[in-house]
Amino acid sequence: MQIFTEKPLIEFIEKHPKMRVAIQDWAEKIKKAEWLCIDDVTTEFDNVEIKDRQTAIFHYNIGEKQINITIMFIGKFVYVRKLGINVQTRAESNLFELCRVQPLITSEASN
């Protein structure tokens, strides 16, 4: 697979340097993948949620933080649509505080 643009990943790593290893690991797995359809994603990742025929959300837990990466899969290309972190608060361990999830590539921007 080919990641359409790595700029959102690089910007995310610059803002969250402790997440570098997780993001780089994810990107390398994506580049080595050879998916034919969105269902193939679940054969390589167990931490993925399929939303529709082209969209998947990856969830990575790192300590009290969870990285969420939303992608659109078209042909041999993976487009990073959203990238963000949820942080679990220590006071209320069952609640997650959304720190940052914003679209980095939208369908309007790609036209």
**Each residue's pLDDT tens digit, 39-49:** 888 888 888 99
Nearest Cα residue to 62 out of 29, 25, 105:
25
Mean per-residue pLDDT over the chain, rounded: 78
Give the pLDDT of residue 88: 59
Tens of pLDDT along 61-105? 877 788 889 999 888 899 998 888 887 554 444 334 333 344 444
In angstroms, the CA 53 to CA 61 distance is 25
What average pLDDT does range 2-10 have in this prediction? Answer: 89
Tokens of 49: 């949620």
Main-chain dihedrals φ then ψ at residue 92, nearest 5 degrees: -125, 90
**pLDDT: is 103 or 50 the higher one?**
50
Q: Report the predicted TM-score, pTM, of the whole model to 2 decimal places.
A: 0.72
For residue 96, the SS3 value is strand
Nearest Cα residue to 81 out of 13, 8, 2, 1:
8
Q: pLDDT grade, residue 33 (50/70/90)?
A: very high
